[in-house]
Amino acid sequence: MSLGVTIHENREKHHLSQIQLANQLHVSRQAISNWENDRFFPSMDNLLELSTIFDISIDDLLKEDPILKSEFEKQQVIKDANFFKSFNKKEELLFSIILILIGIKLAPLGLVIPIIYWLVRLRAIKRAKQYEKK
């Protein structure tokens, strides 16, 4: 079953017309039609909103479309890395100092907080670079 069929079935299950769904997503009725006929795919933001409207997980929405699922995961990883990259050096330094001070206040376990932050940051950026190479 394709993503288009999944969208169509869930739309009908929730008794929504294409126009009603389009209004909720702030897109045209033609966009909904194109998604349902697998001519185009919804954006990541629209996929998230569809999962909310239909009350199903993104995984369930994409489970039959491995290519789209892979692309969605790739976009999420890159988005996470861009969050960390968005800080300039001054902001990064200030945030690190704050984390260290919080860590000192919560010692001895609190000292792990800055380390965890840096590991998560490095892992996100490394994963994004791997996707960008592909």
- Judge whether 50 and 7 are in contact, CB under 8 Å: yes
The whole domain housing 18 covers: 3-64
Half-sphere exposure of 44 (CA within 13 A, CB side): 11
Q: Which one of 38, 64, 90 terminates a domain?
A: 64
Q: Which one of 64, 83, 102 terminates a domain?
A: 64
**In whole angstroms, what is the distance from residue 130 CA to residue 132 CA?**
5
**88-131 pLDDT, tens per residue?**
889 988 988 888 888 888 877 777 888 888 899 889 888 888 87
Q: Are residues 58 and 76 in the same domain?
A: no
**Which ranges in 17-88 belong to alpha helices (H)?**
18-25, 29-36, 44-54, 58-62, 66-85
Q: How far is CA 50 from its chain centroid?
A: 13
Q: Which one of 17, 35, 64 terminates a domain?
A: 64
What's the pTM value of the predicted model, to 2 decimals? 0.55
Q: Are residues 78 and 46 in the same domain?
A: no
**41-73 pLDDT, tens per residue?**
888 889 899 999 999 988 888 776 677 777 778
Q: What is the CATH number of the domain that holds 44?
A: 1.10.260.40
Q: Are residues 76 and 129 in the same domain?
A: yes
